């Protein structure tokens, strides 16, 4: 079956712009989580969505937001981009939000802010 | 706060050598523990998991045992291959029904023929 699909794979934006990243989970998966991966901070949890509701949010500024649609696809948005937002953004999907459910990760979107 | 600490890398081994990557955690309650692997240019793949104390997770020759008394979840493999070269992440998820993973910094493993 198809895995988690993230688009686009690579993105270059200018400081101050905004960006939207997309994640299509595995068919039948209803929970989607987002993570930011940087060399300095490692992998950090951004937020989790289930049934179109944000269930949990990490310690990121309000410039980072997300949503989930009725088909479980999710988008995350970063407004007023800063150089420090350059990172690999990973999306993970799970059948359910239970903590022992395996999370399947996409290949990520590499965002570069110049 | 809740956190995961991994041994720093890179770890460089010859093929067929024994591998240990140390992982310790700090968490309230009873977390579930995971090892994920990231190959170059790819996302993370679940390698193994353990959900309660003394559980042993195993997959593809890798093993890790959930040790509550030492708050550890060390990854081991008896004989590594070149294809095992990757970055390995230890992670935990907390009780409470949420899917949030807290990751360690990752350990890069390089295996040479």
The DSSP annotation for B47-84 comes to EEEE-STT-EEEETTEEEE-BTTTTB--EEESS--GGG
Q: Could you read off the pLDDT of B18-57 as tens digits, one per residue? A: 999 999 999 988 889 999 999 988 889 999 999 999 999 9
CA distance A30 to A88: 23
Is the pLDDT assigned to residue B91 strictly greater than 90?
yes
**Do residue A106 and residue B99 have CB atoms under 8 angstroms apart?**
no
**Do residue B98 and residue A43 have CB atoms under 8 angstroms apart?**
no
Q: Give contacts of B27 with chain A, Cβ < 8 Å.
A: none
Q: Could you read off the pLDDT of B54-90 as tens digits, one per residue? A: 999 999 999 999 999 999 999 999 999 999 999 999 9
Q: Give contacts of B42 with chain A, Cβ < 8 Å.
A: 107
Q: Could you read off the pLDDT of B4-16 as tens digits, one per residue? A: 999 888 999 999 9
User: Residue A1's pLDDT is what?
Assistant: 62
Q: How many CB atoms are closer than 10 A to CB A114?
A: 9
Which of B43, B50, B96, B103 would best serve as a mutation to test chain A binding (most A beta carbons within 10 A)?
Answer: B43
Instruction: Find out whether B79 and B17 touch, Cβ atoms under 8 Å.
Output: yes
Q: What is the pLDDT along chain A (114 residues), one digit of tens a residue?
A: 679 999 999 999 999 999 999 999 999 999 999 999 999 899 999 999 999 999 889 999 999 999 999 999 999 999 999 999 999 999 999 987 776 678 899 999 999 999
Which of A99, A102, A107 would best serve as a mutation to test chain B binding (most B beta carbons within 10 A)?
Answer: A99
Q: Give contacts of B99 with chain A, Cβ < 8 Å.
A: 31, 33, 48, 50, 55-56, 92, 94, 97-99, 101, 103
Question: With bands split at pLDDT 50, 70 and 90, how would you rate the model's confidence at B96?
Answer: low
């Amino acid at each position: 079956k198809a895995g988690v699909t993230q688009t686009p794979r690579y993105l270059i934006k200018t400081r101050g712009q905004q960006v939207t990243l997309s994640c299509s989970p595995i068919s039948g998966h209803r929970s989607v989580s987002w993570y930011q991966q940087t060399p300095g901070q490692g992998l950090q949890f951004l937020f989790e969505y289930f049934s179109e509701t944000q269930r949990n949010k990490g310690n990121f500024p309000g410039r980072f937001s997300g949503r989930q649609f009725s088909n479980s696809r999710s988008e995350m948005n970063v407004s007023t981009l800063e150089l420090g937002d350059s990172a690999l953004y990973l999306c993970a999907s799970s059948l359910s939000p239970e903590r022992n459910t395996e999370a399947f990760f996409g290949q990520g979107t590499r965002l570069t802010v110049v | 706060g809740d956190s995961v600490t991994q041994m720093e890398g890179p770890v460089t081994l010859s093929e067929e050598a024994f591998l240990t990557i140390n992982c310790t955690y700090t968490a309230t309650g009873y977390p579930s523990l995971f090892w994920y692997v990231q190959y170059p240019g790819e996302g993370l793949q679940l390698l193994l998991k353990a959900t309660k104390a003394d559980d042993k997770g195993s997959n593809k020759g890798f093993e890790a045992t959930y040790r509550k008394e030492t708050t550890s979840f060390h990854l081991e493999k008896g004989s590594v291959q070149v294809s095992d070269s990757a970055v390995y992440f230890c992670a935990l998820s907390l009780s409470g029904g949420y899917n949030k993973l807290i990751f360690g910094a990752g350990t890069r493993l390089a295996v040479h023929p």
